[in-house]
Amino acid sequence: MSRAWQAVRPLLLPLLVFIVVFVGHMLFYKIVSQNSSPIWWRLYVLTQTYMISFSLALAFAFGAYALGKARGQSGKAVAGSAGVALLVWFTSACGAPLIAVGLGLVGVGFGSEALPPWVTAVLTICFISFGVYWLHRKGGACATACAAKAGENAGLFREIGVDLDKFGAQQCVTGELYERTFAAQQNRPAGMAYFDEMAGDIYGARMREIIAAKKEGRVVVGNFCVFVPEELTLAVDGISVGLCAGSQAPVSDAEKVLPRNICPLVKSAYGYALTKSSPYFQVVDFVCGETTCDAKKKTWELMDREIPTHVMEIPQMKRERDRDLWLAEVKEFKAKLEQQSGKTITPEALSKAVAVMDAKRGSLQRLNALRHHRPSPISGRDALLVEQIAFYDDPVRFTEKVNVLCDELDKRVQDGVFAAPSQSRRIMISGSPMALPNWKVHNIVEGAGAVVVNEESCVGTRYFSQNVAQSDEDMDSMLLALTERYMQINCACFTPNEGRIEQIIREYRDSRADGLIHYSLQFCHTYLIEAVRIKEACAKESIPFLAVETDYSTEDTGQLQTRIEAFLEQIGGQR
């Protein structure tokens, strides 16, 4: 979309509204004045009634503009925009007589209860100018650092084809959610400042880095699954970003194309691609999808129309021949990267990439182990944020920052500084991934005074639990070792999936949790059905268990809160 069109588009509806209201008021005047042409027209001009038509039309056009700006924004922004529109309307056009009445009450009169039409027009222009200013200062920018920084990058984003209108509106939703989730926490580790900055500026500094790298010719790959070996992307000096999306903002756009009753993660991601509203989707050279579930598998066919899409076939069982299938897929992905980047992956480059990823996983393993201390030195919300940032940040810098945070947490444990009192109930969460900015369940659990101490999730231990085994330094052995590392991931797409049940019980014990919440995204059949077996395993192990199914909207928050609070009370009673 051209720059001029992007600037003009939001003004089209207000312009139409202006014309319709102006003409409508003029005709209305003609009817009520009961004069036949051309007398009514002269009167219309002589009594300056056209000023009233103008004021009314301007006020209505502003209302349309304000509502257009607020569309897709947070509740607060919508309410704010509507408030300003109403204020402007009441204090100008039709409100002008009311002002005259008010002024009359305090002794300032105009000889009749209505203001002269030209005063009405001037007042309307003044109030609307204030309204436009307010909308851009408060509603449009949503007072978030993120939106402000996005504005700084507008030129860069335009270059990669981002729809800035959509992008701005979605940022407001995320920014406000972020403030609600993290700002309210007390006594946070100083090391979280880096991750806060990253989250608040996710479309700022990191995005500029990626765009700059792309301009230098480095390949950028978008991933949707932790099965995709990031090591291979690093081995061509490429950049890997996780594109699983956790925001409700693009879902309604996606639902214009996709069926409503599929997983919100898929709808959110597809919505971003469709509306060109995320710089991350716009910057990638290609995305790598996989066949873990039907929703994803079939969405790739549509995604390919928006962004070139490479699909890896993930086996659904873990036999010898399934491992061979995955090895073949890994080799094909390697070839795709080599062709895209024009570089050949050498054993040295791959070995270096494996070391980078193992160090990254090692830092996350360390963080997770620290959370298992009773009481935990870091909240679940903070730990989840770190795990989510792992999918965006430069891996070497990220590892360094996680280790700095862990050093601080070590010290906190020694000094007895904790995220929650020792009697707080400890919850482990297991199930579907929670992509940025999905903090819904953690927010509810920790808002109720408990602390989340482990996530058996792809934004959690499934991402970082296993390192790559040592192998010979030839390419075939290295690719086999890589394949075997990834085949250990216990996604619910596998059948049978005993490994995941064992992993959950082990992590539950290691994390010293008091209860397990199984979290499924709506319509995620694999996790929803597997929850039945996990519930049985928990009953056998006397582990308090609760299964929740939810999406990215806030509609069910109250209901979830009631269920989770009742669960926490039940655990409290059992301890």
Question: Which residues contact ligand BJ8 (rule: CB under 6 A)?
Answer: 225-227, 263, 265-266, 292-293, 295-296, 432-433, 458, 462, 489, 491, 493, 521, 524, 526-527
Tell the smallest beta-carbon distance from residue 224 to ligand BJ8 (Å). 7
Closer residue to ligand BJ8 (CB): 177 or 528: 528
Q: What is the dihedral of CA 236, 237, 241, 242, to 10 degrees?
A: 40
Q: Are strands 286-290 and 220-223 parallel, antiparallel or unpaired?
A: parallel
Closer residue to ligand BJ8 (CB): 72 or 433: 433
Tell the smallest beta-carbon distance from residue 210 to ligand BJ8 (Å). 21
Closer residue to ligand BJ8 (CB): 310 or 462: 462
Rounded Cα–Cα distance for residues 138 and 84 (Å) = 11
DSSP 206-246: HHHHHHHHHHTT--EEEES-TTS-HHHHHHTT-EEEE----
Rounded Cα–Cα distance for residues 343 and 202 (Å) = 29
Could you identify the residue written with the tokens 């699909």?
311
Please state, as a whole number, how many other Cβ atoms lie within 10 Å of the Cβ of residue 502.
12
Residue 465 burial by CB count (10 A; 0-12/13-18/19+): exposed, middle or buried? Answer: middle
Closer residue to ligand BJ8 (CB): 65 or 494: 494
Residue 185, classed as helix, strand or coil, is coil
Tell the smallest beta-carbon distance from residue 439 to ligand BJ8 (Å). 16
Q: In the chain, what is the greatest distance between 2 CA atoms, to the nearest angstrom?
A: 98
Do the Cβ atoms of 18 and 54 come closer than 8 Å?
A: no
CA nearest neighbour of 391 among 248, 199, 260: 199
Tell the smallest beta-carbon distance from residue 364 to ligand BJ8 (Å). 15
Tell the smallest beta-carbon distance from residue 526 to ligand BJ8 (Å). 5
Question: Which residue type sits at 136?
Answer: H
Tell the smallest beta-carbon distance from residue 161 to ligand BJ8 (Å). 25
Tell the smallest beta-carbon distance from residue 529 to ligand BJ8 (Å). 11
Do the Cβ atoms of 311 and 300 come closer than 8 Å?
A: yes
Structure tokens at 392: 């965006």
* C-alpha 94: how far from chain center: 41
Closer residue to ligand BJ8 (CB): 49 or 233: 233
Tell the smallest beta-carbon distance from residue 263 to ligand BJ8 (Å). 3
CA nearest neighbour of 173 among 144, 134, 195: 144
Tell the smallest beta-carbon distance from residue 24 to ligand BJ8 (Å). 49
Do the Cβ atoms of 370 and 409 come closer than 8 Å?
A: yes
DSSP 517-553: EEEEETT-HHHHHHHHHHHHHHHHTT--EEEEEE-SS
